[in-house]
Structure 1
Amino acid sequence: MNIQETLFYIRKKKELPQRKLLKYVDASVYSKIESGRKNLTFSELLEILTNLSIPLDEFSNYFDNDSVGKTMRTLLYEYKVNPKNLTTKEKIISYFNTLYFSQEMSLEELSDYIVIKTLFSNQWKEVLILSDTELAKIFTLLNEKKYYFHYDYAILSNTIYLFRDDQIDILMNRAFPVKDMEYRNAATKEFITNLICNLITTLIKKKKYSECAYYIDLAKKERENYDLPYKIMLKFLENMVSYVQNKNQTSKEELEAAINFLNSVEEYELATALKLELENILTTDEEPVIIFRNHFNKQY
């Protein structure tokens, strides 16, 4: 979303009329701002955000800006193209070393920090795993929020498998069902998709099959707001649970058919990710694989 789309999105979420946001001008002036027909001054933006009850730093995390996420997006794409490129590794580690875990971090920086730790700590000695202290602070941050935006879902999707069962229940009750799904942009929906997949994989590993069914049913209620790959992924997860729990051979055949279908329609990244998830589930490894699809989305 750009600034205007984000203002529209938040105003609709809060169910506020346009006339409430710039109190000393005609409502048509604000309408032109929201539609992009009038330039928005900084003083107008501050007044609007005051009336929306959202601070500037929080607001800035949720609109697209050419610089937002650009560093991480570029580095991850380079890594995807050539995972063995030492120059790319050096760039990622160099960027990582500029990030210092603290309460002063922006959500964008925190998301980048978590992405690097969860993706590379098991590969590079220079990157340590998330500590218990860091994870506790991440839980507190997410637990204190009543409404999740883009980076909240990004952070949760990459940490959900690390939390205790009781913490997972608390955070998922905040994250699902997703509020105002019709206003979410494609990048946020990607993170929500990733969250569901990583959650179900985690629960399968823990043999919590009833919880799997519960969250899959919740996710199904949002299907009309998602694309075909998301719907395929939900069916894939449902079949995965059925196969692992009951050794249903038909379910296994459908899992393989879904991967083949995704490859046939050139959804190679999702096909590869789901194949990795299936292979991981069928091993004795305790730790779920984190799907890469979101991190290489151009809208990250």
Structure 2
Amino acid sequence: MNIQETLLYIRKKKDLPQRKLLKYVDSSVYSKIESGRKNLTFSELIEILTNLSIPLDEFSKYFDNNSIGKTMRALLEDYKITPNDLVIKEQIITYFNQLYFSRNMLLEELSDYIVIKTLFSNQWKEIPHVSAKELAEIFILLKEKKYYFHYDYAILSNTIYLFNDDQIEILLTKTFPVKDMKYRNAATKEFITNLICNLITTFIRKQEYEKCHDYIELAKKERNNYDLPFKIMLTFLENMIAYVQRRDSKSKEELEGAINFLNSVEEHELANALQSELENVLATNKEPTIILRNHFNKQY
């Protein structure tokens, strides 16, 4: 559905007359909006949604703005459910082959490009790894920005583990503390969550535990802005650091307890990611498990 069709759909579901939605104009004006004969201004949309009692972010989930990124997110959702489906694999590869890397490409497309590479380059021979040239271009792109929005965090969360220590320090000074947190939606916050988790596990692998503790403290400053899974991941990472340093039984029990709790509340995807991350950290010859809750979240 497009925006106009979505407005009609929701109005019908709520059984409201057109005159109730734009109160200070003739009902024919609203009729023209629904039929596509009048352009819809943002202020009109906000007034209509207020009268429909539906927030903008919820409304946006009902319509398809023909974004190719929406197609990609649908494919990733299907992949999560049936990862061995060869048709879905072929569709993802086909979409990937339509993308041509450039610093000037749409950030949504660049985010998809990077997601596909980080998720599938170790699984599918058709998908290459992120190249050194691409990584250098991404670093310049992110370094030059004065303010990060949704897709900036998406790209950084998927590449943070690939940068060298000096590059990480430069990018983190631009990233944290997160500006205007009150305006960030849940999807963006999840990208920031992924960024913190992938950052910390990168330095666990490098056995640079002092930096791990520094980034844990940095993350704690943000914890009140995030959901319960983020707080569980943060505690999980603290215990992982303690366990890889000392191999104490208490930390191992805490790690297993966090995974069991997530499974008990049916956060199986996150539980599996943390289980894989723990196993991979302990077997240092393996590639990292990049925590990507958000890529299977239809909000973003």
In the TM superposition, what whole-angstrom CA distance separates every residue of 1:94-146 from its partner, at most 9, and x where no partner exists?
10011000133100000000011111111111111111111000000001112
Question: Which residue in 2 is equivalent to 1:36?
Answer: 46
On the 8 A contact 1:79/1:88 being kept in 2, the answer is yes
In the TM superposition, what whole-angstrom CA distance separates every residue of 1:206-232 from its partner, at most 9, and x where no partner exists?
011111111111111111111111111
Query: Which consecutive unaligned segments of at least 5 residues does structure 1 have?
Result: 1-31, 40-62
In structure 2, distance between residues paired with 1:93 and 1:35: 37
In the TM superposition, what whole-angstrom CA distance separates every residue of 1:176-199 from its partner, at most 9, and x where no partner exists?
121111211000011111111111
Q: Give the superposed CA RMSD.
A: 2.0
Question: Which residue in 2 is equivalent to 1:218?
Answer: 218
Paired residue secondary structure (1:129): coil
Question: Which residue in 1 is equivalent to 2:20?
Answer: none
Question: Which residue in 1 is equivalent to 2:249?
Answer: 249
In structure 1, distance between residues paired with 2:271 and 2:89: 25
1:230 alignment partner AA = F
**Is 1:272 matched up with 2:282?**
no
2:184 alignment partner AA = R
In the TM superposition, what whole-angstrom CA distance separates every residue of 1:215-264 from its partner, at most 9, and x where no partner exists?
11111111111111111111011111111112222111101001111111
Shift of 1:286: 5.3
Question: Which residue in 2 is equivalent to 1:193?
Answer: 193
In structure 1, distance between residues paired with 2:289 and 2:248: 23
In structure 2, distance between residues paired with 1:34 and 1:150: 25
In structure 1, distance between residues paired with 2:278 and 2:48: 51
In structure 2, distance between residues paired with 1:38 and 1:75: 32
On the 8 A contact 1:158/1:290 being kept in 2, the answer is yes
Paired residue secondary structure (2:47): coil
Bigger mean CA deviation after superposition, 164-173 or 105-114: 164-173
Structure showing greater Rg: 2
**Is 1:131 matched up with 2:136?**
no
1:282 alignment partner AA = L
TM-score by length of 2: 0.78
In structure 2, distance between residues paired with 1:285 and 1:173: 30
In structure 2, distance between residues paired with 1:211 and 1:177: 17
In the TM superposition, what whole-angstrom CA distance separates every residue of 1:37-57 from its partner, at most 9, and x where no partner exists?
279xxxxxxxxxxxxxxxxxx
In structure 2, distance between residues paired with 1:83 and 1:181: 34
Question: Which residue in 1 is equivalent to 2:29?
Answer: none
Shift of 1:265: 1.3
Question: Which residue in 2 is equivalent to 1:90?
Answer: 90
On the 8 A contact 2:103/2:138 being kept in 1, the answer is no
Paired residue secondary structure (1:37): helix
On the 8 A contact 1:177/1:219 being kept in 2, the answer is no
* Equivalent residues in 2 for 1:18-37, closer than 5 Å: 33=43, 36-37=46-47
In structure 1, distance between residues paired with 2:268 and 2:156: 25
On the 8 A contact 1:205/1:286 being kept in 2, the answer is no
TM-score by length of 1: 0.78
Shift of 1:35: 8.0
* Equivalent residues in 2 for 1:109-128, closer than 5 Å: 109-128=109-128
- What is the identity percentage for the equivalent residue pairs of Structure 1 and Structure 2? 70
Shift of 1:271: 0.9
Paired residue secondary structure (2:271): helix
* Equivalent residues in 2 for 1:144-293, closer than 5 Å: 144-285=144-285, 287-293=287-293
In structure 2, distance between residues paired with 1:239 and 1:261: 15
In structure 2, distance between residues paired with 1:150 and 1:88: 26
- Segments of 4+ moved more than 4 angstroms: none
